């Protein structure tokens, strides 16, 4: 599948993965963890490039992945998030536990784009799919007519609000601003820089003052201080989705004190289960897939949503 091999990858396997390759990769990652993708194939004994291994793991082999059977709730959520975020598949996927960006992207391109297009009163349905031309095998010599980024984006925005381009970022460290209870007997540290991997070890870091310690003007200005630049440095994928909520919260323009207050008042604002920001803790990180569709629906339905969708 895919394009012709690039010269630098001659000798490597390409295309569909075999069951054996899947097994090798899965066993290796279970034993050694993710990361170091470049070296992984060599160490695992796979004739694949690291990029391919990473993709295979993230999109297919991870144990927490749900496949197929996208529910109505999920579908609705995808549509609404796409209205908000545009083709930010990784961000959208971050709010659908067990779903990958690739799956959502494919689902959108094959199903939802047509559906939303046909539901749009300003764009009457055409005879052919508005998104995809035929990809019949006998048409290989014809110029490809697939979705361009601009096409796709415009299809999402022509008749709707311009999508918000919240920027995702990576995190490698988490800086908890104050009064962090450490598991090793040290009661508190200030502005502790914590290895997020520790958060996955069940350690109960309590950042009770997480919000309370924010300067009032920060709250008034809507910047609940958890942008990656200011509180979370960088991201490691799934954690970053959690940590970036605050960032996106700001990016999405929820910049009034009422919004911050609602965080405090536990309105499940962006989908944490029982997410008091004051209790923002390892539990959240551990449960980062327990996103609540209902609460996301609440978020999207919020009257105070600053954009017209």
Partner DNA sequence: AACCTGCCCAACCGCAAAGGG
Partner DNA sequence: TCCCTTTGCGGTTGGGCAGGT
* Residues in binding contact with DNA, number by CB under 7 A: 70
Strand, helix or coil for residue 247:
helix
Site for DNA in 53-82 (CB under 7 A): 54-56, 59-60, 67-68
Part in contact with DNA (CB under 7 A); list of ranges 138-146, 217-225, 251-259, 263-271: 138-146
Q: Is 153 in the site for DNA (CB under 7 A)?
A: yes
Q: Is 20 in the site for DNA (CB under 7 A)?
A: no
Q: Which residues contact 248 (CB under 8 A, 6 or more apart)?
A: 91, 166, 270
User: Minimum distance between the CB of residue 128 and DNA, rounded to whole angstroms?
Assistant: 7
Backbone angles phi, psi at 46, to 5 degrees: -105, 140
Of 81, 83, 87, 250, which one interacts with DNA (CB under 7 A)? 87
End-to-end CA distance of the chain: 38
**DSSP summary character for residue 85:** H
Please say which residue, 61 or 260, places its beta carbon nearer to DNA: 61
Q: Is 129 in the site for DNA (CB under 7 A)?
A: yes
Of 89, 205, 263, 280, which one interacts with DNA (CB under 7 A)? 89
Please say which residue, 106 or 265, places its beta carbon nearer to DNA: 106
Tell me which H or E stretch contains 173: strand 173-176
Backbone angles phi, psi at 194, to 5 degrees: -120, 135
Say if residues 181 and 206 touch (Cβ distance below 8 Å).
Answer: yes
**DSSP summary character for residue 111:** I
Q: Which residues contact 137 (CB under 8 A, 6 or more apart)?
A: none
C-alpha dihedral (18, 24, 29, 32), degrees to nearest 10: -160
Please say which residue, 23 or 51, places its beta carbon nearer to DNA: 51
Q: Is 10 in the site for DNA (CB under 7 A)?
A: no
Residues making contact with DNA (CB under 7 A): 1-6, 9, 13-17, 35-39, 48-52, 54-56, 59-60, 67-68, 87-91, 101-103, 105-107, 109-111, 129, 132, 134-138, 140, 144, 146-149, 151-153, 167-172, 233-237
């Amino acid at each position: 599948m895919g394009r012709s091999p690039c010269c630098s990858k001659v000798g490597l396997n390409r295309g569909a993965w075999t069951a054996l390759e899947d097994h090798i990769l899965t066993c290796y990652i279970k034993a050694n963890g993710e990361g170091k993708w470049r070296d992984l194939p060599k160490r695992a004994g796979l004739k694949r490039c690291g990029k391919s291994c990473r993709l295979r793991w993230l999109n297919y082999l991870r144990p927490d992945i749900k496949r197929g059977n996208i529910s109505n709730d999920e579908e609705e959520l995808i549509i609404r998030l796409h209205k908000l975020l545009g083709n930010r598949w990784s961000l959208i996927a971050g709010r659908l536990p067990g779903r990958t960006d690739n799956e959502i992207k494919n689902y959108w391109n094959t199903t939802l784009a047509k559906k939303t297009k046909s539901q749009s009163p300003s764009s009457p349905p055409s005879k052919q799919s508005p998104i995809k031309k035929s990809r019949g095998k006998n048409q290989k010599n014809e110029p490809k007519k697939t979705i361009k980024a601009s096409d796709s984006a415009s299809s999402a925005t022509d008749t709707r609000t311009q999508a918000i381009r919240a920027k995702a970022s990576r995190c490698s460290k988490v800086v908890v601003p104050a009064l962090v209870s450490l598991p090793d007997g040290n009661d508190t540290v200030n502005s502790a820089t914590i290895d997020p991997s520790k958060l996955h070890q069940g350690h109960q870091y309590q950042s009770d003052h997480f919000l309370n310690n924010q300067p009032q003007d920060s709250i008034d200005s809507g910047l609940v201080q958890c942008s990656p630049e200011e509180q979370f440095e960088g991201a490691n994928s799934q954690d970053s989705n959690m940590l970036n909520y605050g960032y996106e919260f700001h990016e999405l323009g929820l910049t009034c004190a009422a919004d911050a207050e609602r965080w405090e008042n536990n309105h499940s604002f962006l989908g944490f289960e029982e997410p008091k920001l004051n209790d923002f803790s390892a539990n959240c990180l551990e449960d980062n897939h327990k996103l609540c569709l209902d609460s996301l629906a609440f978020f999207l339905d919020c009257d105070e949503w600053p954009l017209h969708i």
